[in-house]
Every structure is written in C-alpha cells, then in structure tokens.
A and B are shown apart, each in its own frame.
Chain A
Amino acid sequence: EAGVTQFPSHSVIEKGQTVTLRCDPISGHDNLYWYRRVMGKEIKFLLHFVKESKQDESGMPNNRFLAERTGGTYSTLKVQPAELEDSGVYFCASSQFGGPEAFFGQGTRLTVV
C-alpha cells in the first residue's frame, strides 16, 4: 500500500512568487493534515481536512496560505506571495476517519530566497 506522497520534494522560489505543494494521502484516509517545521523549531499544525471539508485551520499563519482538497482526495497548499519566513519543511499526514494515528509524507522542503 502506498504511503502519503508529497510533491515536490524540494522547491526554491523567490520572495513574492507563488508555490503550490501537493499531498496524496493514503487511499481511504478521510483525515488529511498539513504541518510545517521551520528551522530550529518543532513541527507545527497548519490545518486539518475531513474529506473535502476544513475541520480546523487554526494553525494557518495568514491569508497568504490557501489549502484545498477538492473531491476529498489529494490536497494542495498554495503560498501566494511567498515570504522569506515561509521557508521550512511542509509535511502532510493522513489518518483513517476517527483514527488518531497519523502517517506522514516525506515533506516538501521550501526555500524562499
């Protein structure tokens, strides 16, 4: 069974540009989460989808971040316009409905220069 997959694995963009990250959860997992780890800090929650609905987006830092999960399958996280402080590793995770055990993707390392 395929795990959580994320694209791209690395992205280097200039300040002010737009970047879109993609996450494909484990098949059948209704819960999808985005997390972020910035340099030297712990992994922080961004938001949580249940199927296509946003269950909790309390961790989204500002309105430059937009997450979607059309059809309840894969999800995208768009940063527009990117700022230097957005640099970090963005992780996606998924879990079964009602299940607390979350499985993580390998992350997308975003560098804003």
Chain B
Amino acid sequence: QKEVEQNSGPLSVPEGAIASLNCTYSDRVSQSFFWYRQYSGKSPELIMSIYSNGDKEDGRFTAQLNKASQYVSLLIRDSQPSDSATYLCAVNRDNAGNMLTFGGGTRLMVKP
C-alpha cells in the first residue's frame, strides 16, 4: 500500500463545474496536508494547506480533511480551462517542516 494514494486520472470536467480531487494516506500520525498544482514541465505550486479536521476555503478552492478516515480532498469550484494540471497531494508527519510524502498526482482536464 502506498503511503499517499491518489487516482491518477485523468479527471475530466466541463468548464464551470466543480472538480473533486481525493487523496488517502496511511500514516495516522500525519499532521499537515498540502495540495500542489503542477503544470507540465513546471514546478509544483502550493495552493492549499490544511492542518485540522473540516473545511478550509480560499477563493475557488476548498480543502477538506478527515483524519479519522485518513482522507483529504480538494474541491475546485467554477473550474476553468486554466485549472487543467496535475494536482499533487502531500502529507507531513508534523508541522515543523520535515519531509513531505507525495501521492502520484491526479491529472485534471477542464474542457471549455
């Protein structure tokens, strides 16, 4: 079992729809959770971080965390073609800046 699992996709949604990206992790002591967006050939860009159970909203993005179920998700409202990218889920065992464990990423395609 991988430490951080994501469906590789591609996940295809029409423009304006809600895109839902999911991630599960195996290490119960994980404390901090991140979503990175990566365009082809570019650097992973941090778009959301979440540390406690519940929802965290930032613009069109909402991160959801459920530690009991070891599940973190990212919702993108009003999806735009420019949101088409690979979304990486990353998990940290603490909040002190140690190593991240990444999932393989989900490729999102938003069709006009």
A contact residues vs B (CB 8 Å cutoff): 3-4, 31, 33, 35, 41-45, 48, 55-56, 58-59, 91, 95-107
Contacts of A100 in B (CB 8 A): 32, 34, 49, 92, 94-98
**Smallest CB separation, A9 vs chain B (Å):** 9
Size of the chain B interface, CB-CB below 8 angstroms: 25
**Smallest CB separation, B88 vs chain A (Å):** 7
The majority secondary structure among interface residues of chain A is loop
With contact pairs A43-B88, A98-B96, A100-B96 given, residues A105 and B101 touching in the complex (Cβ less than 8 Å)? no
Pair A102/B104 contact, Cβ less than 8 Å = no
Residue B45 CB within 8 A of the other chain: yes
Pair B99/A33 contact, Cβ less than 8 Å = yes
Closest B-chain residue to A103, C-beta based?
Answer: B46
Counting chain A CB atoms within 10 Å of each CB, which of B45, B94, B102 scores highest?
Answer: B102
Pair A42/B103 contact, Cβ less than 8 Å = yes
Pair A42/B105 contact, Cβ less than 8 Å = yes
Pair B46/A56 contact, Cβ less than 8 Å = no
With contact pairs A100-B95, A104-B36 given, residues A45 and B101 touching in the complex (Cβ less than 8 Å)? yes
**Smallest CB separation, A60 vs chain B (Å):** 12
User: How far apart sit A33 and B95, CA to CA, in the bound complex (Å)?
Assistant: 15
Residue B43 CB within 8 A of the other chain: yes
Binary flags per residue of B69-112, CB closer than 8 Å to A gives 1, else 0: 00000000000000000001000101111111111110000000
Pair B102/A99 contact, Cβ less than 8 Å = no
Contacts of A3 in B (CB 8 A): 43
Which of these, A102, A105, A107, contacts B97 with CB under 8 Å?
A: A102
With contact pairs A42-B102, A42-B104 given, residues A104 and B96 touching in the complex (Cβ less than 8 Å)? no
Residue B28 CB within 8 A of the other chain: no
**Smallest CB separation, B56 vs chain A (Å):** 13
Contacts of A91 in B (CB 8 A): 43-44
A42-B4, A43-B88, A98-B97 known; 12 new pairs, CB 8 Å cut-off, are A33-B99, A35-B100, A42-B2, A42-B103, A44-B102, A45-B101, A48-B98, A48-B99, A100-B98, A102-B100, A103-B46, A104-B43
